[in-house]
Structure 1
Amino acid sequence: MTQNTSLPESTIDQHTQPASVTEYANLCQHLVNAAMHSPDLLAVAVQQAKGNGQYQYQELTFAELDKQSDELAYKLNASGIKQGMKAVLMVTPSIAFFNLTFALFKAGIIPILVDPGMGINNLKQCFIEAKPDAFIGIPKAHIARRVLGWGKDSVKYCINVGGNRFQRWLAGCLSIESLKQVNGTQYNRYPMVKLAEDEMAAILFTSGSTGTPKGVVYSHKMFEAQISALKHDYGISVGERDLATFPLFSLFGPALGMASIVPDMDASKPITAEPKHLFAAISQYQCSNMFVNPALLERLGQAGEQTQHKLTSVKRVISAGAPATISSIKRFSKMLESKVEVLNSYGATESLPISKIASSALFATTDKTDQGAGICVGQAIEGVEIAIIDIVEPPIAHWTDNLALATDQIGEIVVKGAMVSQAYYQRDSATAGAKIQDGTQMRHRMGDVGYLDANNQLWMCGRKAHRVDASVKGQFEKRYFSIPCERVFNTHAQVKRSALVPVTIDGNVVPLVCIELNKGVVCSTSKVLYQNLVELATLYPHTQGISRFFIHPEFPVDVRHNAKIFREKLAIWAQKQWKE
């Protein structure tokens, strides 16, 4: 690396005469403001379990986080990593993660954030597409980078974070502690880069749980809209403390004046979390907010039920990533005070949050959901417009109001708002297939199907790709949607979960439902179970015609949420089983 001790370039100077319609922003301005007005307030605390019920916590105040990220931004620039470059960030939630992320944003360096759980092949493809200039990661990530050739054609700068001496040696690159200094050790405030509202500020890759991972282009305008939603629609206020179990959400804490309390857990595999660690962190810091995905909600709820644990300080729980089951929410809610709600958020990496519904309102929809009405995901948050369009595959170039379907008609969910992404990175065809131009904004096709009811509540009916279009001799016969069908069969006491898939029999496409049984249910009961399921199918118009069921030992599901069923894999399995 070549040393560069000059101050970083800033787009502030490049845009001294901005057009009146253009705004410039950087989400780090919220951290800077918090450091000025509440310098000693806690910003971050990271838990480390020491065994025997003992814990150690590393803490940063807002002033410390602001100062340390300023210093790191200077060092990154001095080491050759400058504004406009792209940097892969594969660092576990830690003090270093917060310092690095805010330093990158301050310097106008574009972080590339990927989910390690997406698989080796997907990770390599992500780096091929993103063409990162720098790779910042823990030793394990660097070892994988060297062995598997991640980013070998584009990465010029490598920085290792953490690990012992041997691990750092294996990483084979500069450590974060040895980054070049600028003018000794004295640093002035970093001249924070500000970008135009739609300029690329970050690339966040989708998980790939329902298809090939795609890089979503994030702007500071999107981040600002998400911060605004958390502040106004979810009521988060300065001084709160959040149990942060998802890295991206944890970054919003300091931006909201809320402390992010990071528990000792693998954020990419929440199902493996130790509930006692999380309970200890909540108790230590009296957390008022929690962000948990369905897998963690279920795990914590089970642990709380066994120990009769209570979360007396928690005033708000936000669940997102996949629909949580009613039983999981009810079990978890036993730990909460009577009036505390679990807020279920709907959205995607490309557009989050879109709508929300409180647990008490969700419970009131249980009967309709069990009868196949879909899952109610609530009403749009402020500033978001939701519409339903016909289920079609080709791109739609321009939006017109006559594309919108009427109330109670199932179609693809389309959203518009400030937090909606405008494009995928280096994926023109994917952008064309998912975006609809509407004036100066893009509407996003969610890839989910659903409908709006008479009260303007959104009901989700599954992924568009998971519908089954039954046909006879090549002629369309009937359309089946995953969630409305599956929820009917999930009401059976012996069924843990079900999955609708298509199979081809004698050239005809027919619906088949894979069944995963509850633990302890033996296969000898399958004949009676089959009769029960056939009877259930006859009760509702949307399940009539389903008469084929296969019992599967354990569904393939995504690691992070333990709720997104890989129906594509089940479809291949079911087709093979039928032929055998």
Structure 2
Amino acid sequence: MTQTTVHANANICQHLHSAAQSMPTKLAVAVQQSKNGKLTYQEIDFKTLHQQSDIIAKGLLQYGISRGKKAVLMVTPSIEFFSLTFGLFKAGIIPILVDPGMGIKNLKQCFAESQPDVFIGIPKAHIARRILGWGKGSVKQVINVGGSGLQRWLTNATHLETIIEIGSRNTHIHDMAMLENDDMAAILFTSGSTGTPKGVVYSHGMFEAQISALKNDYGIKPGERDLATFPLFSLFGPALGMASIVPDMDASKPITANPANLFAAIEQYQCSNMFVNPALLERLGQAGEQTQHKLSSIQRVISAGAPATISAIKRFSKMLNPNVQVLNSYGATESLPVSMIGSDALFNTSDLTDQGKGICVGKPISSVEISIIAITDDPIENWDSITPLAANHIGEIVVKGPMVSQSYYRRMQATQYAKINDINVYRHRMGDVGYLDDDGQLWMCGRKGHIVDAKRGEQRLKRYFTIPCERVFNTHPQVKRSALVGVDVAGHTVPVICIELHKDLVCSNANVLYQELTKLAEQHPHTQGINRFLIHPDFPVDVRHNAKIFREKLAVWAQAKWRE
């Protein structure tokens, strides 16, 4: 199945090559390091990054890692990370990128599915590989990056310096691997926050489409500087002619970041752009409020990964110059970005969100088509068998566009359930539900798998959607957040709202709170019938976004509480 053509031949590194020619001495990457309370920065310009990645590409190929091989890349954000990643792309070697925050069990599953030929990592990753058997049976070559002494010895791996030395001995200009748009460029494993992680196959055409969106829809221009807090997004910087400024933080756990480090990096390089997820947006906003900090150089803020709260965006926006927008992006690893809405427009929809209309995630970006279809758990083979729903009807969100992935790696069943054949491309079922309003804006109503159908036996009485229901209860002053789950009561499925209270508030009388929440439910047709509530001390959430609630875990907890 072929993807929509963007270029006849493609490689993301073509953009790096262009930047190396047009702005050779301009900053490409700066990596912040914090030691003993002092901040230092490693820097590399576009010409040097291009040359170093060329040398690494030649070294990898001469070392015997041929084009089309798959290489796990577990390297912390660093100059070496950028040089290696672009070197792999130039050589036509397929990087496998995984989120180290997804847990040991999921990591092992990722490597078992992807069957990597090569394992490239820091000493810590190699030691874990040897102890836990990551890639056992498929990995033939191992390359270590960084470390010293005992650490390097324990990796039992060839060191990156050796690869660079091999590549340096070849004085010929490296010919970048030119591939077709639908050729596999990388495998990206999703976080698995709603299930087992799946490897998303990225083509060169997908990368090109994402670069085009960042240029045309987000307005990013060559010469900008970006505070890069997410490793994958940071790779787009050099491809856009934009410097990536990498702060000293754990990208897999942004909630632990030191705001002072990030503010210092922005000030040092006068960053114009920054990418933040909701957890980091919240943390930086709180820190900025306490110190009255201003981000005077920032012209654009991009937030993605999960919906950020209105209060968090407003708090963060106090640090920005007037008219600077926080651009909230909707999408997923399988298709990003899909739609976008600026913070000013989002604020205008907040009252409707609190009434349970869902979260407005804006209009589709150029080249993306959004459709809403009837909700079903069955696979859908062909798009021509589908009649999309009319405006203002909640259904399953389906997207089509050049940045939409066409398959999961070696997961035929998952691909079958997530993709719909539309002549010469596949549309992607986002796994979310929502609707398009009369103006063509998309409103998100939650995950399809989190829908609660109230049932009497097998008879469905009413359908409840997470975001429309939860946002109503979140308006109560004592409620920090809420989560809709289904509980079995005497053979019937009933909706239950789990409540997490604000930390500084103590609920002196739970029954009074429950009565007030029941009255709230009765005021809206989509929450009527909800009259069961449980207070939970601290919701289980994903470590990266600190916003994606693990409702599956809450459902198990709520069921156990109901039986007590």
TM-score scaled by structure 1?
0.95
Contact 1:135 1:158 in 2 (8 A): yes
3-state SS of 2:508 partner: helix
User: Would you say 1:83 and 2:67 are equivalent positions?
Assistant: yes
Match of 1:194 in 2: 178
Match of 1:9 in 2: none
Displacement of 1:403 in angstroms is: 2.2
Contact 1:42 1:59 in 2 (8 A): yes
Matches within 5 A, 1:61-72: 61-72=45-56
- Residues 462 and 184 of structure 1: is their aligned pair in 2 closer, same or farther, counting only changes over 3 Å? closer
CA distance in structure 1 between the aligned counterparts of 2:480 and 2:534, rounded to whole angstroms: 13
Supply the AA of the counterpart residue of 2:17. Answer: V
User: Would you say 1:37 and 2:22 are equivalent positions?
Assistant: yes
Candidates 332, 346, 349, aligned match of 1:362: 346
- Residues 488 and 178 of structure 1: is their aligned pair in 2 closer, same or farther, counting only changes over 3 Å? same
Candidates 198, 214, 232, aligned match of 1:248: 232
Q: What is the CA deviation profile of residues 118-163 of structure 1, one whole-angstrom value per residue up to 9, with x for unaligned ones?
A: 1111110110000000000111111110111000110001111111
CA distance in structure 2 between the aligned counterparts of 1:22 and 1:321, rounded to whole angstroms: 28
Q: What is the CA deviation profile of residues 167-209 of structure 1, one whole-angstrom value per residue up to 9, with x for unaligned ones?
A: 1122221111122744863533211001111111100011000
User: Would you say 1:48 and 2:33 are equivalent positions?
Assistant: yes
User: Would you say 1:153 and 2:153 are equivalent positions?
Assistant: no
CA distance in structure 2 between the aligned counterparts of 1:337 and 1:21, rounded to whole angstroms: 36
Coordinate RMSD, CA, aligned: 1.2
CA distance in structure 2 between the aligned counterparts of 1:388 and 1:524, rounded to whole angstroms: 44
Q: What is the CA deviation profile of residues 34-68 of structure 1, one whole-angstrom value per residue up to 9, with x for unaligned ones?
A: 1011101110000001333x311111100000000
- Residues 308 and 79 of structure 1: is their aligned pair in 2 closer, same or farther, counting only changes over 3 Å? same
CA distance in structure 2 between the aligned counterparts of 1:551 and 1:183, rounded to whole angstroms: 60
Displacement of 1:533 in angstroms is: 0.5
Match of 1:539 in 2: 523
CA distance in structure 2 between the aligned counterparts of 1:511 and 1:296, rounded to whole angstroms: 32
Match of 1:25 in 2: 10
Match of 1:16 in 2: none
Q: What is the CA deviation profile of residues 362-393 of structure 1, one whole-angstrom value per residue up to 9, with x for unaligned ones?
A: 00000000000000000000000000001001
Match of 1:97 in 2: 81
Matches within 5 A, 1:386-425: 386-400=370-384, 402-425=386-409
- Residues 259 and 130 of structure 1: is their aligned pair in 2 closer, same or farther, counting only changes over 3 Å? same
CA distance in structure 2 between the aligned counterparts of 1:70 and 1:385, rounded to whole angstroms: 37
Q: What is the CA deviation profile of residues 299-322 of structure 1, one whole-angstrom value per residue up to 9, with x for unaligned ones?
A: 000000000000000000000000
Contact 1:515 1:551 in 2 (8 A): yes
Match of 1:176 in 2: 160
CA distance in structure 2 between the aligned counterparts of 1:133 and 1:406, rounded to whole angstroms: 48
3-state SS of 1:24 partner: coil
Q: What is the CA deviation profile of residues 57-106 of structure 1, one whole-angstrom value per residue up to 9, with x for unaligned ones?
A: 11110000000000011111122111000000001100000000000000
Structure 2 stretches lacking a partner, 5+ long: none
Matches within 5 A, 1:267-346: 267-346=251-330
- Residues 21 and 29 of structure 1: is their aligned pair in 2 closer, same or farther, counting only changes over 3 Å? closer
Displacement of 1:210 in angstroms is: 1.0
Displacement of 1:21 in angstroms is: 10
Contact 2:63 2:166 in 1 (8 A): no
Displacement of 1:531 in angstroms is: 1.1
CA distance in structure 2 between the aligned counterparts of 1:35 and 1:189, rounded to whole angstroms: 14
Supply the AA of the counterpart residue of 1:159. Answer: I
Supply the AA of the counterpart residue of 2:88. Answer: L
CA distance in structure 2 between the aligned counterparts of 1:531 and 1:169, rounded to whole angstroms: 64
3-state SS of 2:73 partner: strand
TM-score scaled by structure 2?
0.98
Match of 2:512 in 1: 528
Displacement of 1:401 in angstroms is: 7.3
CA distance in structure 2 between the aligned counterparts of 1:364 and 1:72, rounded to whole angstroms: 50
User: Would you say 1:475 and 2:477 are equivalent positions?
Assistant: no
CA distance in structure 1 between the aligned counterparts of 2:390 and 2:151, rounded to whole angstroms: 59
User: Alignment identity in percent?
Assistant: 70
CA distance in structure 2 between the aligned counterparts of 1:238 and 1:22, rounded to whole angstroms: 21
Displacement of 1:405 in angstroms is: 0.3
Supply the AA of the counterpart residue of 1:540. Answer: H
Candidates 109, 113, 118, aligned match of 2:93: 109
Contact 2:6 2:205 in 1 (8 A): no
Displacement of 1:488 in angstroms is: 0.3
CA distance in structure 1 between the aligned counterparts of 2:484 and 2:308, rounded to whole angstroms: 19
CA distance in structure 2 between the aligned counterparts of 1:179 and 1:393, rounded to whole angstroms: 48
3-state SS of 1:163 partner: coil
Match of 1:564 in 2: 548
Q: What is the CA deviation profile of residues 511-556 of structure 1, one whole-angstrom value per residue up to 9, with x for unaligned ones?
A: 0010000012224232221111011010000000000000000000
CA distance in structure 2 between the aligned counterparts of 1:59 and 1:327, rounded to whole angstroms: 36
Match of 1:489 in 2: 473
Structure 1 stretches lacking a partner, 5+ long: 1-19
Contact 1:71 1:187 in 2 (8 A): no
Q: What is the CA deviation profile of residues 392-430 of structure 1, one whole-angstrom value per residue up to 9, with x for unaligned ones?
A: 011101102742000000000000000000000000000
3-state SS of 1:122 partner: helix
Matches within 5 A, 1:131-170: 131-170=115-154
Contact 1:78 1:181 in 2 (8 A): no
Q: What is the CA deviation profile of residues 236-272 of structure 1, one whole-angstrom value per residue up to 9, with x for unaligned ones?
A: 0000000000000000000000000000000110000
Supply the AA of the counterpart residue of 2:31. Answer: V
Supply the AA of the counterpart residue of 1:449. Answer: V
Match of 1:373 in 2: 357
Match of 2:245 in 1: 261
